[in-house]
A and B are shown apart, each in its own frame.
Chain A
């Protein structure tokens, strides 16, 4: 029962920090709140005993990707006047659209939601590094190797995009 209370607190904190990401005016604050959101999502992974993904989420998302975002924000040196404003009408329309998306998803998963009561865990060791490593290097080995090609392509693309501008200046 106490675990349930902890997970409810974590879930509401996740949603609160996600709302702060969307509604804070300053982009740097948005990045900080997004890091906080990722930390709470990591803690939810830990609650579900998905240890490998918890560590990867912490290192890759909260560590690497968010630092990249923060670095770009600092590099562009944006001030508060540069922040574009949204009109009230489009904001209202977005709220209605997002709210109906939420309701549609809840309705679509309604039958699954009631399933939670009768569930019984077959194997709670599924998220450990040993199990996932076995799976990753046998069944999904080809996809894992193709991932490295994707990374090389992304790296070359990012370098080319940054470098072409420099040659134009020269």
Chain B
């Protein structure tokens, strides 16, 4: 019954924090209408998932999940780059970052 003494806290606390972070990010993605803040809330949700993966990886002693977190970070960097350039281009056309204005992206 020895809880890992070098790991600070037990598994459930980190899981609770990551689930709460994911819920906060989801609430932000639903409430905010600013396009950039929306992208930031998606980053927050990605980080919540990363935290959960690292938690499980550490507590089960398996490194594969941490490699997966590394790849998630890589994909998040690429996604932020392309997403922000799309936002800049759409802002030049529409002069607004309101998400409701972006319902006519086809032209």
Of the candidates B6, B67, B97, B100, the one whose C-beta lies within 8 Å of that of A136 is B67
Residues facing B in A61-115 (CB within 8 A) are: 61, 64-65, 68-69, 72-73, 75-76, 78, 82-86, 90-91, 93-95, 97-99, 101-102, 105-106, 109, 112-115
Instruction: Give the size category of B's interface with A.
Output: 35 or more
Nearest CB in chain A to that of B84: its residue: A72
Instruction: Given A7-B9, A84-B98, verify A132-B63 contact (CB < 8 Å).
Output: yes
Instruction: Given A48-B58, A126-B66, verify A14-B92 contact (CB < 8 Å).
Output: no
Q: Contact check, B73 vs A60: say whether CB atoms are below 8 A apart.
A: yes
- What B residues does A3 contact at CB under 8 A? 5, 7-9
Interface size of A in residues (CB-CB distance below 8 Å): 92
Residues facing A in B54-99 (CB within 8 A) are: 54-55, 57-64, 66-67, 69-71, 73-82, 84-89, 91-92, 96-99
B3 to chain A, nearest CB (A): 7
- What B residues does A106 contact at CB under 8 A? 16, 19
Residues facing A in B4-40 (CB within 8 A) are: 4-17, 19-28, 30-34, 36-37, 39-40
User: Whole-angstrom distance between the alpha carbons of A26 and B57 in the complex?
Assistant: 36
Interface assignment of B1: CB less than 8 Å from any CB of chain A: yes
User: Whole-angstrom distance between the alpha carbons of A37 and B41 in the complex?
Assistant: 12
Most chain A CB within 10 A, of B14, B54, B91, B99, is at: B54
Nearest CB in chain B to that of A93: its residue: B30
B-binding residues in A (CB < 8 A):
3-4, 6-8, 11, 14-15, 18-19, 21-22, 27, 30-31, 34, 37-38, 41, 44-45, 47-50, 52-53, 56-57, 60-61, 64-65, 68-69, 72-73, 75-76, 78, 82-86, 90-91, 93-95, 97-99, 101-102, 105-106, 109, 112-124, 126-127, 131-132, 135-136, 139-140, 143, 147, 150-151, 153-155, 157-158, 161-162, 164-165
